[in-house]
Structure 1
Amino acid sequence: MVRMDTPDAVMARIAQGQELAVAGDREGARRIFEKVWDALAGSGEDTPDPLHVVTLAHYMADVQTDPAEELRWDLRSLAAADSLTDERAQEHHSSLQVAGFYPSLHLNVAASHHALGQSSEARHHLDRAAQSFEHLAEDGYGRMIRGAVERLRAELDAATVGPWGQSECRAQHR
């Protein structure tokens, strides 16, 4: 979501944080994301822009060290997607379709539940992710998300409990 058709200062700031996260500076990214979140909360709007919330919460979850906090941010992102429209997403980038967000969002929620040892919740969200595969392109990103869902499903099927903390599935699909 970093490439923009229309300039948006909030999305640009989120992209700066994500660049730090990708470069390995999770703490620096988290500081930027916290400042953006505080600005959104203090903006005076009853409901912040769902595109900003989806994007920020999605990336904020990635930089958490506590699996419960990761889940909280993942759920926030998923809830915001429910109020996001294609029209708003396409103001940011003309290729975006909200339905295409759900496989990754549900995968992240599933991975967080799995990290917390909540297998039934993880399976539920993996099923939801798989139900929305039709909205993924047949490209590298689509293959990555489908593969991550299948790897996490196989891990759950093998009844292997992963380490506490950030799940390997989430790390593999970033």
Structure 2
Amino acid sequence: MFDSENPVNKLCAEGMMLEGEAKSQEALKCFTRAWDIAQNDFERFTAAHYVARHQADVSGKLHWDKTALDLALSIDTSEVKALYPSLYLNVAKCHEDMGDFKLAFENYSTAKQYTAFLPQDGYGDMIKKGVDAGITRVRGNEF
């Protein structure tokens, strides 16, 4: 699905390079431009995922993480389904950080349900560990 010539992907790649150079504001501008020119759900999902990473507060991050998740859920491909656990993990962590442990637990649990779609590699292992750690953290809170 990755097309290196796609303008949205080019902007996101440029933004990731800027992230690597610790130029957060410039990276956010690239990701926001990507969002502005996106023409389909896959492009909007991609841009929203990166915009979320540069929000100043948790509520802004949650908004963009939920936007990315909602768009991803509208795309029915195995490649995107492999991203569901990470997307639910991001949303869950925002709810946890905001003190809404019930919604955090629900989203961590949903992420867990999709872990079968993860690749069997370091990335997949990292996401699984993040999901399990999140469930452990919020399970002890009353909700």
Q: TM (normalized to structure 1)?
A: 0.74
Gap change, CA 1:6 and 1:18, over 3 Å in 2: closer
Q: 1:10 aligns with which of 1, 5, 8?
A: 8
Corresponding position of 2:86: 104
Greater relative contact order (Cα 8 A, min sep 6): structure 1 or 2?
1
User: 1:17/1:6 Cα in 2 relative to 1: closer, same or farther (>3 Å)?
Assistant: closer
The number of aligned residues is 141
| Pairing of 1:9-48 with structure 2 (within 5 A) | 9-40=7-38, 48=39
Partner of 1:55: 46
Q: Give SS of 1:97's match.
A: helix
Counterpart residue identity of residue 23, structure 2: D
2:109 pairs with 122, 127, 151, which one?
Answer: 127
Alignment correspondent of 2:67:
76
Are the structure 2 counterparts of residues 51 and 68 from structure 1 closer, same or farther at C-alpha, using a change threshold of 3 Å? same
Cα distance change of structure 1 residues 154 and 99 upon mapping to structure 2, 3 Å threshold: same
The CA distance in 2 between the partners of 1:138 and 1:23, in whole Å, is 30
TM-score by length of 2: 0.89
Residue 5 of structure 1 and its aligned partner are, at CA, apart by 5.2
**For the structure 1 residues 27 and 6, does the alpha-carbon distance in structure 2 shift closer, same or farther, using more than 3 Å as the test?**
closer
Aligned to 2:56: 65
- 1:124-168 per-residue CA deviation (whole Å, 9 max, x = no partner) reads 110110000100111000001001111222221344xxxxxxxxx
Q: Which amino acid aligns with 1:14?
A: C
**RMSD of Structure 2 on Structure 1 (CA):** 1.8
Structure 1 window deviating more from structure 2 (29-38 vs 109-118): it is 29-38
Distance 2:16 2:105 in 1: 28
The Cα shift of 1:6 comes to 5.4
Aligned residues: percent identity? 32
The one-letter code of the counterpart of 1:110 is A
Mark the runs of 5 or more structure 1 residues left unpaired by the alignment.
Answer: 41-47, 87-95, 160-174
Call closer, same or farther: CA 1:157–1:82 in 2, change over 3 Å.
Answer: closer
Aligned partners of 2:60 and 2:4: how far apart in 1? 32
Q: 1:138 aligns with which of 120, 132, 138?
A: 120
Q: Aligned partners of 2:29 and 2:136: how far apart in 1?
A: 35
The aligned amino acid for 1:35 is R
Amino acid at match of 1:123: F
Contact kept in structure 2, 1:21 and 1:63, CA below 8 Å = no
